[in-house]
């Protein structure tokens, strides 16, 4: 029997396994029989469980990589924050009385304003404080914020790389990479024509709903006003026992009204005619009713964005004796307001509407199609249309907020900066 066979036989015994681990076995061969080094060494290596060694090496390397990735993803340093807190009163209509007022806040927002809910609170609170200093806040004030002011909470608490991205697409890639488990779970349950967009909006929905209520409910309570909190995209949102909750179904662009004590009034109002319904995961809420809430200033209805273009919505509000209409709105694309109107783009056609694409500008179309306070289409006495302004990576925004009162419209003609619009009732 050659040496290799003897060693193999001995190594298979309990004594051999204890005395000669694989590395010791190889060393024993090299030291005990120099003449048979090559063949004995190969035989010993053949005995050694190489597959286990490779698995162990690969597992350790994978654990190291995953640990490093997890530490990188969890590291969320807060960068420097510089934001313009100035805001100007652009439109002030009516005479102060005891009937209250509609106050529109057209903010100018950027991704860094959403690094944390505290930062966004600081900016919006500065706007409201300016309004207070100008005597525009009272117990009957209704504050209206723009569409999607809550949706961008999706990027709150992220890594600096996201805020420093040059395009929205790059920012969304950083969002997914920094939250891999949340993104994968959201992608599995995503719906609509673009599952990636759906997943991006859905992946942090629970935290978004919590931050949305804490932030905007907190502002309403802090300044003792009724607050129409723009809108936020959430899956199947509902208010249960005074708390904004999410479900597991389709995404809806929804608005919540908060009372002076910071609590939601009624249920979220879902947008009935979103732009490109279904293509970006956002479902039309046409099967849901229009909610009307009682406020100290009167009965209030909310029409999100293009919902304000549809005469049947005003009829439904009139049937519920609505006196005031809030329209949180958003128009994508810098300079779009003055460019030719692009038509309905996927939305159903309001009846009767005879406008065609290119016949007038985007801004003119909004002012013509919004029927608030225009009898006989709307019996409401006043309304406020407020647009989100700012720059989110390579995606600009347009829109000039306007007041509707007694059949007339008062437009904020200045397209730059943050503005207040006030209407005394």
Question: Do residue 105 and residue 9 come from a single domain?
Answer: no
**Both tokens assigned to 395:** 């995606």
Q: In this structure, is residue 77 part of a structural domain?
A: no
How distant is the alpha carbon of residue 50 from its chain centre? 51
Please state, in angstroms and rounded to a whole number, the distance separating the CA atoms of residues 378 and 266. 23
Peptide bond before residue 352 is cis, with ω within 30 degrees of 0? yes
> How far is the first Cα of the chain from the last one, in angstroms, to the nearest whole number?
108
Q: In this structure, is residue 186 part of a structural domain?
A: no
Residue 334 pLDDT class (50, 70, 90 cuts) = confident
Whether residue 128 contacts residue 137, with contact meaning beta carbons closer than 8 Å, is answered with yes
- In this prediction, residue 270 carries a pLDDT of 96
Q: In this structure, is residue 174 part of a structural domain?
A: no
18, 43, 72: which is the final residue of a domain? 72
The region of weakest confidence among 144-153, 258-267, 347-356 is 347-356
Number of domains forming the structure of the chain: 2
Q: In this structure, is residue 154 part of a structural domain?
A: yes
Residue 266 has pLDDT above 70, yes or no: yes
21, 37, 72: which is the final residue of a domain? 72
Question: Do residue 59 and residue 112 come from a single domain?
Answer: no
40, 72, 104: which is the final residue of a domain? 72
Residue 133 has pLDDT above 50, yes or no: yes
Residue 93 has pLDDT above 90, yes or no: yes
Higher pLDDT, 265 or 28: 265
Question: Do residue 18 and residue 58 come from a single domain?
Answer: yes
Burial environment of residue 161 by CB neighbours within 10 A (0 to 12, 13 to 18, 19 or more): middle
Quick one: which of 195, 186, 121 has its CA closest to 153?
121
Peptide bond before residue 376 is cis, with ω within 30 degrees of 0? yes
- In this prediction, residue 278 carries a pLDDT of 47
Q: In this structure, is residue 9 part of a structural domain?
A: yes
**Helical segments of 261-327, H only:** 311-319
Please state, in angstroms and rounded to a whole number, the distance separating the CA atoms of residues 128 and 120. 12
Quick one: which of 281, 308, 279, 287 has its CA closest to 369?
308
Question: Do residue 209 and residue 63 come from a single domain?
Answer: no
Question: Do residue 49 and residue 123 come from a single domain?
Answer: no
Residue pLDDT, tens place only, 7-22: 556 556 666 556 555 5
Place of tokens 């309990």: 14
Residue 46 has pLDDT above 70, yes or no: no
Residue pLDDT, tens place only, 344-380: 765 565 655 667 777 889 999 899 889 887 888 899 9
Question: Do residue 7 and residue 150 come from a single domain?
Answer: no
Could you tell me the sign of the dihedral formed by the alpha carbons of 38, 44, 49, 55, in that order? negative
Question: Do residue 39 and residue 101 come from a single domain?
Answer: no
Domain of 58, in residue numbers:
3-72
Residue 31 has pLDDT above 50, yes or no: no
Q: In this structure, is residue 164 part of a structural domain?
A: no
Please state, in angstroms and rounded to a whole number, the distance separating the CA atoms of residues 334 and 397. 5
C-alpha angle 31/33/35, rounded to 5°?
125
Question: What's the pTM?
Answer: 0.83
Higher pLDDT, 212 or 13: 212
Question: Do residue 67 and residue 210 come from a single domain?
Answer: no
Please state the rounded mean pLDDT for residues 87-96: 96
- In this prediction, residue 25 carries a pLDDT of 46
Neighbouring residues of 117: CB distance < 8 A, sequence distance ≥ 6:
153, 156, 211, 214, 215
**Both tokens assigned to 269:** 């109002």
Give the CA distances from residue 101 to residues 212, 260, 422, in Å, rounded to whole numbers and listed in that order: 24, 14, 7
Neighbouring residues of 242: CB distance < 8 A, sequence distance ≥ 6:
263, 264
Q: What are phi and psi of 137, to 5 degrees?
A: -115, 135
Whether residue 192 contacts residue 274, with contact meaning beta carbons closer than 8 Å, is answered with no
Question: Do residue 94 and residue 58 come from a single domain?
Answer: no
Question: Do residue 37 and residue 93 come from a single domain?
Answer: no
Q: In this structure, is residue 185 part of a structural domain?
A: no
| CATH code, domain carrying 99 | 3.60.110.10
Question: Do residue 274 and residue 352 come from a single domain?
Answer: yes
Strands 141-144 and 226-228: parallel
Q: In this structure, is residue 79 part of a structural domain?
A: no
Residue 37 has pLDDT above 50, yes or no: no
Torsion over CA of 182, 187, 192 and 197, rounded to 10 degrees?
60
Could you tell me the sign of the dihedral formed by the alpha carbons of 62, 68, 69, 74, in that order? positive
Could you tell me the sign of the dihedral formed by the alpha carbons of 332, 337, 340, 344, in that order? positive
**Helical segments of 307-357, H only:** 311-319
Question: Do residue 259 and residue 144 come from a single domain?
Answer: yes
- In this prediction, residue 12 carries a pLDDT of 62
């Amino acid at each position: 029997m050659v040496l290799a066979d003897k060693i193999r036989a001995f190594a298979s015994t309990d004594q051999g396994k204890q005395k000669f681990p694989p590395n010791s076995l190889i060393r024993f061969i090299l030291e005990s029989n120099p003449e048979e080094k090559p063949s004995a060494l190969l035989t010993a290596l053949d005995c050694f469980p190489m597959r286990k060694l490779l698995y162990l090496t690969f597992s350790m390397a994978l654990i190291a990589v995953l640990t490093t990735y997890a530490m990188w993803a969890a590291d969320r340093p807060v960068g420097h924050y510089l934001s313009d807190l100035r805001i100007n009163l652009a439109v002030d209509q009516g005479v102060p009385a005891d009937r209250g007022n509609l106050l529109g806040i057209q903010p100018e927002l950027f991704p860094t304003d959403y690094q944390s809910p505290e930062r966004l609170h600081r900016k919006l609170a500065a706007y409201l404080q300016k309004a207070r200093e100008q005597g525009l806040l009272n117990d009957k004030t209704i504050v209206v914020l723009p569409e999607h002011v809550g949706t961008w909470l999706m990027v709150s608490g992220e890594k600096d790389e996201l805020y420093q991205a040059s395009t929205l697409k790059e920012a969304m890639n950083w969002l997914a990479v920094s939250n891999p488990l949340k993104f994968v779970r959201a992608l599995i349950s995503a719906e609509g024509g673009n599952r990636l967009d759906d997943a991006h909006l859905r992946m942090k929905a629970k935290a978004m709903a919590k931050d949305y209520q804490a932030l905007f409910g907190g502002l309403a309570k802090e300044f003792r006003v009724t607050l129409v909190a723009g809108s936020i995209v959430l899956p199947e949102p509902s208010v249960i026992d005074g708390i904004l909750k999410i479900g597991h179904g389709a995404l809806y662009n929804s608005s919540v009204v908060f009372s002076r004590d910071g609590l939601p009034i009624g249920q979220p109002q879902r947008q009935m005619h979103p732009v490109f319904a279904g293509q970006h995961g956002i479902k039309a809420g046409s099967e849901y009713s229009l909610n009307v809430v009682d406020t100290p200033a009167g009965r209030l209805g909310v029409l999100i964005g293009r919902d304000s273009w549809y005469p049947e919505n005003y009829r439904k509000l009139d049937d519920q004796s609505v006196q005031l209409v809030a329209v949180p709105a958003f128009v994508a694309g810098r300079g779009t307001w003055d460019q030719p109107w692009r038509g309905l783009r996927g939305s159903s056609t309001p009846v009767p509407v005879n406008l065609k694409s290119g016949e007038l500008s985007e801004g003119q179309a909004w002012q013509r199609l919004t029927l608030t306070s225009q009898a006989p289409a709307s019996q409401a006495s006043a309304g406020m249309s407020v647009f989100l302004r700012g720059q989110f990576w390579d995606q600009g925004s347009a829109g000039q907020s306007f007041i509707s009162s007694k059949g007339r419209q008062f437009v904020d003609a200045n397209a730059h900066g943050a503005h207040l619009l006030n209407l005394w009732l």
